[in-house]
Amino acid sequence: MLLAADIGGTWARLQALEDGQPLVSETFASGDFATLADVINHFRQRHGLPDFVAACLGLPGPVAGRRVALTNLPWQVDADELESTCRIGRVQLVNDFQAAACGVDALTADQLLVLNPGQPDLQGPRLVAGAGTGLGVAPVFFCQGRHVPLACEGGHMDFAPADDIQQDLQRWLWQQWEHVSCERLLSGPGLELLYGFFSGVPHPEQAGQIAAADITARAEAGETVACQTLATFVAMYGSYLGNLALLWPARAGIYIVGGVALHIRHWLQQPAFLQAMQAKGRMHELVAGLPVYLVTAPQPGLRGAALMVRQLVNS
């Protein structure tokens, strides 16, 4: 019996595999548990599962060694402790977007929405990025016939305003945070901050009264503030991905994952998104030539963790 998990700031997704095939999966609210061990043991008890031979756990934060402090959860994760308390033979900790990037290999054409066809080179680098509770990124290089994802924390790059309104936004955010990262804005909580800014809320700590899902619904209904919020969010998202593409020219494709993108797919299909991504001056043609895909398949991170745990036991 194997265990795969994709742990996020909002949801913890777990899957048990038997003979390499999914047996049972379940999603839990991360905030309902004090530790990751509590989630795993609850999952095992609910489904009467035996000891796990191995586990691959995708975690939101920098993974170095066998102990990890998660970024958007107050959890400390220790692989050795999990092996003992959760009765797992071998635990592998990976960055959550490293797992999601691995999951791209399992996608079929009908699970991708083409936002820009570009000029794909299937043996070139990939880039996997996406907004959820946080903002994740994984550069992927091609080596010896396969794509190999790397872990990074590119969501925490400095936010770079692209116009006067975004400069005002940054000054507004500086009231609360000395360092304003891209993740601060390009995430579900970031969408809520943006709505507060455009609503005229005087201080960021007073924003967040309207949930991201409600903001999206209001934008679809034509509310002016919500539409301005989504338009700005999409422009910043495009600009950010274009900056990543200059650093990591993903000729095999930029793959956008994460719950936020799926909820705003209509907005990502509008010209403003690609215009912002490709507005790179003399490097316009470079970025315009890169394929861009929206991943519509559910739970790519869990799919990737499942692939990785199978590789772990077969290595």
**Residues 146-168: tens digit of each pLDDT:** 999 999 999 999 999 999 999 99
Q: In this model, does residue 43 exceed pLDDT 90?
A: yes
Which of the four pLDDT bands, split at 50, 70 and 90, describes residue 251?
A: very high
Instruction: Tell me what pLDDT residue 72 has.
Output: 83
* Edge-to-edge strand list for the sheet holding 54-59: 21-29, 11-18, 2-7, 54-59, 91-95
Query: Nearest to residue 194, comparing CAs of 172, 220, 177?
Result: 172
Burial class from Cβ neighbours inside 10 Å (0-12, 13-18, 19+) for residue 273 reads buried
Of 236-240, 269-273, 310-314, the least confident: 310-314
pLDDT in tens, 177-236: 999 999 999 999 999 999 999 999 999 999 999 999 999 999 999 999 999 999 999 999
Q: Left, alpha or beta for 103 (phi > 0: left; psi -120 to 50: alpha)? A: alpha
Query: Which amino acid is residue 2, in one-letter code?
Result: L
Residue 14: pLDDT band (50, 70, 90) is very high
Who contacts 8 (Cβ-Cβ below 8 Å, separation ≥6)? 30, 60, 72, 96, 132, 133, 134, 301
Q: How far is CA 229 from CA 148, 166, 195, 206, 263, in A?
A: 36, 11, 6, 16, 14
Confidence of residue 54 (pLDDT cuts 50, 70, 90): very high
**Running DSSP on this structure, what letter comes out for residue 51?**
-
pTM score above 0.85: yes
pLDDT, residue 149, reads 95
Measured CA to CA, the distance from residue 134 to residue 139 in angstroms comes to 17
The dihedral sign for the CA sequence 189, 191, 192, 196: positive
Q: Which domains does the chain have, with CATH numbers?
A: 2-95+300-314 (3.30.420.40), 108-296 (3.40.367.20)
- Indicate if the pLDDT at residue 145 is higher than 90: yes
138 Cβ contact list (under 8 Å, min separation 6):
95, 97, 98, 100, 101, 127, 128, 129, 149, 150, 151, 152
d(CA 143, CA 165): 43
What tokens does 146 get? 């396969």
Quick count: other Cβ atoms within 10 Å of Cβ 218? 18
Residue 236 Cα to chain centre, angstroms = 16
Alpha helix stretches (DSSP H) within 90-205:
96-103, 164-174, 182-185, 188-198
Residue 98 to residue 153: CA distance in whole angstroms: 11
What pLDDT score was predicted for residue 295? Answer: 97
Query: Residue 263 in contact with residue 305, Cβ under 8 Å?
Result: no
Greatest CA separation for the chain: 59
Number of H helices, E strands in the chain: 13, 13
> Tell me, what's the pLDDT at 51?
96
Provide the residue type at 209 as one letter.
Q
Q: What value does the mean pLDDT of the chain take?
A: 96
Task: Tell me which residue has tokens 């975690």.
Answer: 59
Residue 315 has pLDDT above 90, yes or no: no
For residue 291, report the phi and psi dihedrals to the nearest 5 degrees.
-65, 145
- The residue with greater pLDDT, 5 or 20, is 5
